[in-house]
Amino acid sequence: ESRWWIMNQKELEQLVIKNKSYCSEGQNAHYIPALAKVNPNQLGITLYNIKTRDMLSAGESSVKFAIESISKVPALLLAIEDNGLSNVLNHINTEATGFSFNSPLNMEINHDKHPLNPFVNIGAIETTSLIQGSSPDDCYSRLLSFIKEICHDNTISLNEEIYQSEAKTGDINRSLAYYLKGNNMLSKEVEGVLEVYFKQCSLNVTTENIAMMASVLANKGIKPWDNKRLISEESATLVKSVMTTAGLYDESGEFSAHVGIPGKSGVGGGLMGVSPNQFGIGVFSPPLDKSGNSLAGVRLLKDVVTKLHLNIFD
């Protein structure tokens, strides 16, 4: 507990200032105009302490941004709650990949023709298809409720502009979904699954929301703010482990080696970090590096992890 006080508000703000110049070294995701036009000069962070329930934020921590691939985490958690862990793992592997997030190779090289992991797009689309519901609308509303609960925020809602462009420009995702379907890996209709997937990616969140979600994983599946269990400990453990090997796509190895906590990124510039038994961390900065991870965000998270001695491999 004393570790918390190694960093105060001012020190966190200083780390934000120190890393802010990296905003000019990356580029916003440009595949859809709605992401390209977001102000690139933003860097924000929230830490949530699971023991003291204190929240510490600096920079643009209440700015809303598109959750994008960070949504693959709650989608996986809900798919596991719905089907059981072993059934989900019958469909999707937990292997690292050196390919970019939307590459079809994330399945092809695997001898059993299952997606390599749930955090590359082809595995995430498969994961979303496993969420139960009587219709795509029902699946989406169940996932949205779950995300509101795990982020402890009832106001989380869809960014309609992002959703429309994701759906309109999602040809690669569409091809990945058809590829799954053609290999008998998708038990539902492609367009319905994609509707849920594009919507889950288009939810507006803040670093506070992301820190709360991370804190449930850090706290073994129990929501720190009300001490109620939301997901099984087994599921929290598995997801943290997959985040460690695959949370930052083809940069996951580097992130593990140099930052050293379970992480998950999104092309909206969000980054989630989990410090087991200590903190949930949310970071936001729109410009991305070549792998699609927040450039300033990764550097800021590294500084925080170093300062608080959170590296899980230490």
* Cβ atoms 105, 73 nearer than 8 A: no
User: Interaction with ligand GLN in 148-167: which residues (CB under 6 A)?
Assistant: 166
Count Cβ neighbours within 10 Å for each residue of 153-164 and write b for 16 or more, e otherwise: beebebbeebbe
Q: How far is the CB of 43 from ligand GLN (least distance, A)?
A: 18
Q: Is 249 a catalytic residue?
A: yes
Measured between alpha carbons, how far is 185 from 179 in angstroms, rounded to an integer? 9
Q: What residues have CB less than 8 Å from 250, skipping those under 6 apart?
A: 97, 98, 99, 100, 101, 291
Name the percent of the chain in helix, strand, coil, to the closest 5.
50, 10, 35
* 121 vs 129, beta carbon nearer ligand GLN: 121
Q: What's the one-letter identity of residue 38?
A: V
The residue (of 44 and 268) whose beta carbon lies closer to ligand GLN is: 268
C-alpha 115/C-alpha 110 separation (Å) is 8
Q: Is there binding between residue 266 and ligand GLN (CB under 6 A)?
A: yes
Q: Name the active-site residue from 22, 57, 71, 72.
A: 72
Catalytic residue among 22, 48, 163, 197: 197
- Is 201 a residue that touches ligand GLN (CB under 6 A)? yes
For residue 33 the two structure tokens come to: 């105009």
Work out whether 262 is an interface residue with ligand GLN (CB under 6 A): no
Kindly determine how many residues on this chain lie close enough to bind ligand GLN according to the rule CB under 6 A: 11
Residue 267 sits in the site that holds ligand GLN (CB under 6 A): yes
DSSP 21: G
Q: Is 283 an active-site residue?
A: no
Q: Does 292 bind ligand GLN (CB under 6 A)?
A: yes
106 binding ligand GLN? (CB under 6 A):
no
Q: Kindly state whether residue 61 participates in binding ligand GLN, applying the rule CB under 6 A.
A: no
Nearest to 234 by CA among 77, 101, 20, 114: 77
Closer CB to ligand GLN, 159 or 244, in the complex? 159
Residue identified by tokens 């580029």 is: 27
Residue 68 in the binding site for ligand GLN (CB under 6 A)? yes
Judged by DSSP in three states, 28 sits in coil
User: Residue 65 interacts with ligand GLN (CB under 6 A)?
Assistant: no
Residues that bind ligand GLN (CB under 6 A): 68-69, 101-102, 121, 166, 173, 201, 266-267, 292
Annotated binding-site positions for substrate: 69, 121, 166, 173, 197, 249, 267
Task: Please give the positions annotated as active site.
Answer: 69, 72, 197, 249, 267
